[in-house]
Amino acid sequence: MDRRTFLASTALAAANTAALAAAARPAAGKVGVAETREGPVHGVATESGTAYFGVPFASPPIGSLRFRAPQPPARRSAPFDATGFAPAPIQQPPPPGLYGPGPLPQSEDCLALNIWTPATAGPHPVYLWIHGGGNVAGSSRMPVFDGSRFARHGIVCVTVSYRVGALGFLDLSALLGEDYAGSGNNGLLDIVEALRWVRANIAAFGGDPRQVTIGGQSAGAKNVCALLAMPAARGLFSRAIVQSGGAETAIDRDGAGRMAHRFLELTGASDARDLLTLDSTMLLAAQVKLQKSWPRKYPFRAVVDGSVLPDLPLSMIRDGRAAPVPLLLGTTRDEIAFFGPNAARDGSVVQGDLANMALDAFAPVYDAYARNFPALSPLDRRYRALTAEEYWLPTLRTAAGHAAARRPTWLYRLDMPRSAAPNAGYAVHGSELPLVWDKVRDPQCAFLGPEGPEAEALSARMHAHWVSFIRSGAPGAGWPLYRPDAPQTMVFATEDSAMTRLDEDERRQWDGARFDFG
């Protein structure tokens, strides 16, 4: 069963429709007002402070601004009503209940922030969160991304919406010339524009613009790694959190050019300029076809174009050209189990399963798993090897490179599995989200990760570590620095422990394995 089928078939989604509807409505209470450079913004009172939903941080990227870098928002003549979420970026319809009740509202006009502020006076540290979704999906309104838990602990929490898919990551310079240089990184530039907006305005919400931590999970985490390497983002944040990401998922200009030409063919348009006005449903249809045929699991990714992104983020991290900020990063133990077994259920791997490698380069490494882990079933060997290829190895390399450049680095792995179906026995992709966001008891979020009293206790510990890092640039006591001479990983389970050279024998299987641009 694949991820989409699993989520769509989960009885939880239907059972919680009423709860989701309540969560989508902002809490009742006294209206809060914040003065921004564009004009006043009206929010709603919450138990933790005040929340503001759907606040624009850029001009709508529509009409002549489609496929263009984001532009600052215009000043408004009337106060902005920030009491409801903005539309999500254009994407395939998600499974029912994943992002809220009913269909997910979508629009090209999606560049907006949600902000949760503490009740106490600031200035407070700021946490800006970048959602995942393969850079083709996702939403800042997902119930687990409820910033009130961070606000309760004196942090201004911001979740950002950015363009995904072709609208955010299609490089049109090969089709329309240098006037569209950088268009393959528009989704990343959206996040940079959000950070600029935060720097200019967050003080009005009680935030400290000098203490901004960026964080993300999955594609959001890979985008954080790209932001570490982007000159335009330098100085806009002071700390970074990478959950199930890595700094190697990128594409070079040649590959991006081939992808643009293929995309144009799939739209059926005869002139590349037609892409500027083509209905978004036709763009989305071509995007889906491209995803199915492209020889990498996630084709829409950061483009190493020499300007917006000068080089592969991992290379820039290793040689000290990336942002010199404290970094907290890690993975879950069984990431790929979230997506389920392959169709044949035989453990085989095809090119489309791989995010960072060509199949011929992966094959000898995968063969070693059968020799070195004979007790594992074929499905579990597949989960383990693909988890390493997409998440674990890129995360290890990012941690090692960042630490070698003498940047403070902390590495973790979540090992606590779910005890109930679905995914019983596995710590899967996204399992850490309800733990870190303190949402284990929330039925809208609990299905993502471990459950029960032990998970609630672990959530308290992990949330406290994240709060400490956002506040001070270091997690809480007992979590050692990751150092090249003593690479220690904090393993989160029923009892947490710092492990030196975790799974070193498995890591050695990957020595010399070729990762390349997609």
Q: Are 127 and 150 in contact (CB under 8 A)?
A: yes
- Phi/psi-derived region of residue 175, left when phi > 0, alpha when psi is between -120 and 50, beta in every other case: alpha
77 is catalytic: no
Closest by alpha carbon to 365, among 349, 342, 341? Answer: 349
Catalytic residue, candidates 48, 161, 173, 218: 218
Closest by alpha carbon to 189, among 59, 35, 55, 320? Answer: 59
Six-digit token string for 177: 């010339």
Q: Are 93 and 104 in contact (CB under 8 A)?
A: yes
SS3 of residue 481 by DSSP: coil
Closest by alpha carbon to 131, among 168, 179, 174? Answer: 168
**Which residue pairs from 376-382 have beta carbons closer than 8 angstroms and sit at least 24 positions apart in sequence?**
377/347, 378/346, 378/347, 379/341, 379/345, 379/347, 381/347, 382/336, 382/341, 382/342, 382/347, 382/348, 382/349
153 is catalytic: no
Residues in the chain: 518
Catalytic residue, candidates 429, 431, 432, 465: 429
Sequence-separated (6 or more) residues with CB below 8 Å from residue 63: none
335 is catalytic: yes
Q: Are 266 and 240 in contact (CB under 8 A)?
A: no
Catalytic residue positions, numbered: 218, 335, 429
